[in-house]
Amino acid sequence: MSDSLTVSLEEIVYQVKCSGQLSTILEGIVIRKAIAAAAAAASIQAKPEELQQAADAIRVANNLHRTEDTWAWLQKQGLSLDEFEAMIHDTVLSTKLAQDLFADKVEPFFIQRKLDYSQVVMYEVVLEDEDLAMELFYALQEGELSFHSVAHQYIRDSELRRSGGYRGLLYRTDLSPKIAAAVFAATPPQLLKPILSSKGVHLIFVEEFLQSELDSALRYQILSNLFTNWLQEQIKQYKPVLEQP
């Protein structure tokens, strides 16, 4: 049996500082206080059934199927039962506050930036020689070559070569700004004039655009992003200072 080691709060704070995690910890404190203050101002409260549901979700996520498993997990995390319940309370408040602040802003946000959530089906060959890229571009336009044959000849990556340069379903943010601007301005199906970047000369065939639907997954993603941006603004607003003993 290994010997137990007593660790003081001062040693924990010292370790946090030395590991470079102090700023992250302080930001977390700011976020927790900002959520609590905003929830109180909006009269948001956590209902017992919501707390129970959140607690059950944590148990399932950590495979805590038995009571003794939960107690062992709490001990490992250094949490008392009261602290565990406080953590669940904070989680529920955070979720409800995000809904209160941004639920009615998700759809307008999506509509305003709908192009950002559109996906493109495209094929790409990246070449080193701009003259060669232009030569291939004109040959493709004239129908002298197929994009698949160009991909098979000039792509080094075996998987990408076998797929004819197919890049999959891509969002605007998956591409560099310069390439995204050209791709999403295309009228599919369209072969784009070679685009020069730091990676080489891009020969791109835009097959089609797929318009995103505001389904539950995308709605949750947008809501989370809006709430995260709000939290970042709270961090900028306050500058926490560690109280010295």
User: Could you tell me where in the chain the CATH 3.10.50.40 domains are found?
Assistant: 119-210
pLDDT in tens, the chain (245 residues): 456 788 888 898 889 889 999 888 889 999 999 999 999 999 999 999 999 999 999 999 999 999 999 999 999 998 999 999 999 999 999 999 999 999 999 999 999 988 888 899 999 999 999 999 999 999 999 999 999 999 999 999 999 999 999 998 998 889 999 999 999 999 999 999 999 999 999 999 999 999 888 999 899 999 999 999 999 999 888 776 666 65
**Rg over CA atoms, the chain:** 27
The one-character DSSP state at 192 is P
Q: Do the beta carbons of residue 107 and residue 214 sit within 8 Å?
A: yes
Instruction: Return the pLDDT at 242.
Output: 64
Calpha distance 145→167 (Å, rounded): 20
Pick the CATH number of 119-210 from 3.10.50.40, 3.30.1300.10, 1.10.3210.10, 3.40.630.10: 3.10.50.40
pTM of the model: 0.70
Instruction: Return the pLDDT at 7.
Output: 85
For 43, other C-beta atoms within 10 Å of its C-beta total 7
Instruction: Return the pLDDT at 1.
Output: 47
What is the C-alpha end-to-end distance of the chain, expressed in Å? 36
Closest CA to 93 of 31, 12, 20: 31
Instruction: Return the pLDDT at 23.
Output: 87
β-pair partners for 120: 170, 209
